[in-house]
Structure 1
Amino acid sequence: MAEKDKVFAGSIPKFYDTLMVPLIFEVYAIRMAELVSGFSPGAVLETAAGSGAVTRALAPKLGAGARYVVTDLNQPMLDYAAQRQGADARIEWRQADALALPFEAASFDVVCCQFGAMFFPDRIAGYGEARRVLRPGGHFAFSVWDRIEENVFADEVTAAVATLFPDDPPRFLARTPHGHHNVAVIRDELCLAGFTDIVIETYESVSRAPSARDVAIAFCQGTPLRNEIEARDPGALQRATDRAAEAIGLRHGDGPVAGKIQAHVIVAMG
């Protein structure tokens, strides 16, 4: 993973939350919230919380006395999430690296992470940290995207933007968000981190948007794909967005668009 893949700053948090979250993240955030709340936890740690999609879905489902610590490596994303969430005395917002958590061992009943593990430079270390801060019998629940070919809009955007840079196509979406989809590898890495009881399920859903242009703006301007485009040509962002919108429109039509999305949801216990 390139270092720039972790940069969610500037206008990216707002575009990410207002466009990417309803496009692909919200449906899985609801599933994650139902999964975590089903464990009836007294203390929850969320890592790589992003703009707070899971936080907003999960907080109402937790008990009045629950402790909920929400973390992200990127302070701009965390600030945006806290602002969107509003006041909730149960929530502690904390900038933290999932590979070096600033919490004592056996502090939480559940650690959850939606679509963040793909960004870990050392996933085994990240999984090991989750296990360290879990209490005996605790659960580590997280999700990762399946391969890019199973996620229609991400695949189409990647192909469309590549036509602008044929000698050096931006590969952020395939390399990082969709780069950790092998369930055998996921299971092996969790075992190396000390987890022994592992359940992996794959869920297909549908991504919907009012138009092809909404999809193009979401991916090209609301993710670190933007950083890759602008690094190649500072003036190419609009052209890349237009090219992606055109490609999606040709396949899905001029009105509302829909495409398959697919992800793995994992629950592990030590």
Structure 2
Amino acid sequence: MPVPDGVFSGSIAENYARYMVPLIFEPYAADLARRASARSPHSVLETAAGTGVVPRFLLPLLPDDATYVATDLNQPMLDIAASAVTDPRVRWQQADAQELPFGDASFDLVLCQFGAMFFPDRVGAYREARRVLSSGGAFVFAVWDSLDANDFAAEVTAELAEMFPDDPPRFMARTPHGYHDVSLIEREIADAGFTAVSTDTVTAQSVAPSALVAATAYCQGTPVRLEIEERDADRLQEATERSAARLAARFGDDEVRGRIRAHVVTASG
């Protein structure tokens, strides 16, 4: 039985923190932190916080009396985050973004970096974000643009399709890069009750010390690993090495650099 796309546990969570976070998430965590700090928030909620990359960038920009609640559905991700970020202003709490265990108007800023694509009920999650926001607060979140606008993810997906032509792994296209239509995103935000929304499309660069590191990030630090193992449990390393060879052929043998692109949405009202 297929494992749900939103499950990050065991070595996947560890490899996600080790490889994926510096590869693609840090540039947008820095961007989100700049946007957030410009609003001078004192009470911040982050949903789908993963292994805690956003607080690492945002906490140094917040006042000493600020509070930060970081939530995620996956406890293994929060365990890694809590061991890496020990700032006393942060509370780590397992929670579902679609059913937040907080009172109305509890926070003046809600953040979500690359989590909305995983929500089964996105409008419901957006309504929850709006419910816990105080008057004048804002909801700021990021989602990936399409697969073809994100170089490494596209190349790894293409290589795995060649390796498993009868049943290609499609996690990257289906979920992380499956929610990129700005008109749909803004319509769902409006359906959740927000009255003001703006969207910026932000292009950054993904950098890895080698093609193998980049391939390991995607093949072993995301649910792509589960898709590979469901097809043939003995071919994970082969899939990683084939993906690395494909990346090296396009981006070089040493340090590799590729385009990443995402939409950053700010909603209020």
- Fold similarity call, TM over 0.5: yes
Residue 67 of structure 1 is matched in structure 2 by 67
Q: Higher mean Cα deviation, 123-132 or 5-14?
A: 5-14
Residue 168 of structure 1 is matched in structure 2 by 167
Amino acid at match of 1:39: R
Whether the aligned pair in 2 keeps the contact of 1:21 and 1:53 (CA below 8 Å) is: yes
Matches within 5 A, 1:1-270: 4-86=4-86, 88-270=87-269
Amino acid at match of 1:61: L
Amino acid at match of 1:125: G
1:62 is displaced (CA, Å) by 1.1
Amino acid at match of 2:13: P
1:233 is displaced (CA, Å) by 1.1
1:4 is displaced (CA, Å) by 2.1
Amino acid at match of 1:145: W
Q: Distance in 1 between matches of 2:186 and 2:136?
A: 18
1:29 is displaced (CA, Å) by 0.2
Q: Deviations over 1:207-234 (max 9, x none)?
A: 1111111110000000111111111111
Q: Deviations over 1:11-49 (max 9, x none)?
A: 112211111111111010001011111111110000000
Amino acid at match of 1:108: F
Q: Distance in 2 between matches of 1:137 and 1:3?
A: 39
Structure 1 unpaired stretches of 5+: none
Q: Deviations over 1:48-73 (max 9, x none)?
A: 00111101111111111111101000
SS at match of 1:207: strand
Whether the aligned pair in 2 keeps the contact of 1:24 and 1:207 (CA below 8 Å) is: yes
Q: CA RMSD in A?
A: 0.9
SS at match of 1:4: coil
For normalisation by structure 1, the TM-score amounts to 0.98
Q: Distance in 2 between matches of 1:176 and 1:45?
A: 23
Structure 2 unpaired stretches of 5+: none
1:142 is displaced (CA, Å) by 0.2
Q: Distance in 2 between matches of 1:72 and 1:55?
A: 13
SS at match of 2:4: helix
SS at match of 2:266: strand
The structure-2 alpha-carbon separation of the partners of 1:116 and 1:69, relative to structure 1 and needing over 3 Å to count, comes to: same
Whether the aligned pair in 2 keeps the contact of 1:20 and 1:218 (CA below 8 Å) is: yes
Percent of paired sites with the same residue: 57
Q: Distance in 2 between matches of 1:40 and 1:175?
A: 36
Number of equivalenced pairs? 268
1:107 is displaced (CA, Å) by 0.3
Whether the aligned pair in 1 keeps the contact of 2:138 and 2:266 (CA below 8 Å) is: yes
Q: Distance in 1 between matches of 2:33 and 2:17?
A: 17
Whether the aligned pair in 2 keeps the contact of 1:206 and 1:258 (CA below 8 Å) is: yes
The structure-2 alpha-carbon separation of the partners of 1:203 and 1:225, relative to structure 1 and needing over 3 Å to count, comes to: same
Whether the aligned pair in 2 keeps the contact of 1:8 and 1:224 (CA below 8 Å) is: yes
Whether the aligned pair in 1 keeps the contact of 2:3 and 2:226 (CA below 8 Å) is: no
Whether the aligned pair in 2 keeps the contact of 1:4 and 1:227 (CA below 8 Å) is: no
Q: Distance in 2 between matches of 1:130 and 1:3?
A: 27
Q: Distance in 2 between matches of 1:260 and 1:253?
A: 14
